[in-house]
Amino acid sequence: MELSTIDLIVIGVFFLMMLVIGVWSYFRNNSAEDYFVAGGKLPWWLSGISHHVSGYSGAVFVAYAGLAYTHGFSLYIWWALGIGLSVVISAKIFPVYWVRLRKRFKIQSPLEFLVTRYNLATQQLMAWSGVILKLFDIGAKWAAIAILLNVFTGISLTYGILISGGISLLYITFGGLWAVIITDFAQFIVQIIAGLVMFYVVIEKLGGIESVFTVWDQLPEGNGDAFNDPYTVGFALLFLFINFLSYNGGQWNLATRYISSPSEQEATKAARLSGILYIIWPLILFFPMWAAPVILPDLEDPTQSYGILTMELLPVGLIGLVIASLFANTMSMTSSDINTISAVITRDILPALNKKFRDGKTSLLTARITTFLFTLGTILIALQFEKFGGVLGLIISWFGALVGPIAVPMLFGLIPWFKSCGPKAAIGSILVGLVAFVITKNVDVGSLALEIGLPVICSTITYILIGFIERDNVPEKVKQMLEDVSHE
């Protein structure tokens, strides 16, 4: 799998473009507010595209390509369609709430409001948990990009990590959220072009546009079905709930897209754009992966299907473009995470550690130093990737498990129905969710749906029950805050 000189040039140009965007974005930042939330001036179309591409990573073209090969169309139902519906249906709720939090409470981090909504201890528990686990999660993604570079170019893992992580460190540190957003847009264009090229090449290989409708009869049994065991209706419904929490702000970097919008209307439009893209674009993007069993029958490792299709079907130059899109998706997710985590450290953790950060005025220099050091930390962890072995995989799994339990008190805490759910409900829901996660990892619960959904189910039930018990003890500041956020 050797790349041509032209393909290597295409990949090199992509990385150079990331650096140029970072330098350009540097001059758009005059304050920490510009750096973390684009000064609250992010256009809806840029916000919507960034929200959309931030949900992808190289895993889509590796792990999900394997699922598309073995289980077919069901992947679209429980992943892409579920995300799209979650975002579109709630477009006038959570995106609006996030904008109001920035305008009325001056937040730049998605966790800042938690001090008022619950208390400092709850906020710090959520902040430290997310930051530490993201440190390892992002480090693992640098290693994943390095593995892709190694497979396609022969570059060692160490140099691959230093190239991808180092370039990201520079453009994120220079440009902040503007750099992330503009590179997201550039990466989206690369992904669209690469995806359309792959789609065209595959349908030509299969005999023309009618293959879009006829290929399903040639696939293994069940691959054309909406639900293919173990990805059942129950699994899809549970994943819909997880997606609802994650893509409305449970994943902190996605909340930042809404926080950065200039108005409630712009945030709603951004959410709708992202949701519609999730409903439409994956039908084109995933088609080559669904058709792979016909073109590449009996693959020993289905996760390699997209990579093999790329190398076997595309001409020189376009291979480099598709590979650049793989890097683009992963770098989009990591850079988005880094910017938001830096905001959490700067706005939530540092003020709790040192009183000189408590005046609410974060300097641009402090923001850049925090971003630089956190990104450097993720690169150092990536360089020790092999030493962590199974431990790293375990920590990544724990991060996945925490998305739901942390998202429950974050998002439900914004809804007036749950005003009686205080610090005990928030902390209890997180801890019970973690216990449920440990149980699913050590006990056979009988189905994939329960294994994935039990932590968030237990968190939700715990949060509501404790809130019901504490229903007569709602602080006045919480009532006022929810009134401010939920009403115009």
Sequence ranges of the domains in the chain = 5-389
- The answer to whether residues 82 and 238 touch, using CB atoms and an 8 Å cutoff, is no
Environment class of 126 (CB within 10 Å of its CB; exposed 0-12, middle 13-18, buried 19+) = buried
Contacts 24+ apart (CB under 8 A), 189-194: 190/14, 190/321, 190/324, 190/325, 190/328, 191/53, 191/56, 191/285, 191/325, 191/328, 191/329, 192/281, 193/321, 193/325, 194/318, 194/321, 194/322, 194/324, 194/325
Predicted TM-score (pTM) of the model is 0.85
Look over the chain and give the mean of its residue pLDDT values, rounded to a whole number. Answer: 84
Give the per-residue pLDDT at 20.
Answer: 82
pLDDT digits (tens, 9 = 90+) for 407-466: 899 999 999 999 999 999 999 999 998 888 888 878 887 777 787 788 889 999 999 999
3-state secondary structure of 361: coil
**Hey, which CATH number is domain 5-389, 1.10.3720.10, 3.30.1490.270, 1.20.1730.10, 3.10.105.10?**
1.20.1730.10
In this structure, what token pair is assigned to residue 184?
A: 């997201």
3-state secondary structure of 231: strand
- To 10 degrees, what angle do helices 252-259 and 318-344 make? 80
pLDDT digits (tens, 9 = 90+) for 135-193: 877 887 787 777 767 767 777 878 888 887 888 777 777 777 787 788 788 878 888 88
How many other C-beta atoms are found inside a 10 Å radius of the C-beta of residue 182?
Answer: 22
Q: Is the pLDDT of residue 98 over 90?
A: yes
Give the per-residue pLDDT at 218.
Answer: 92
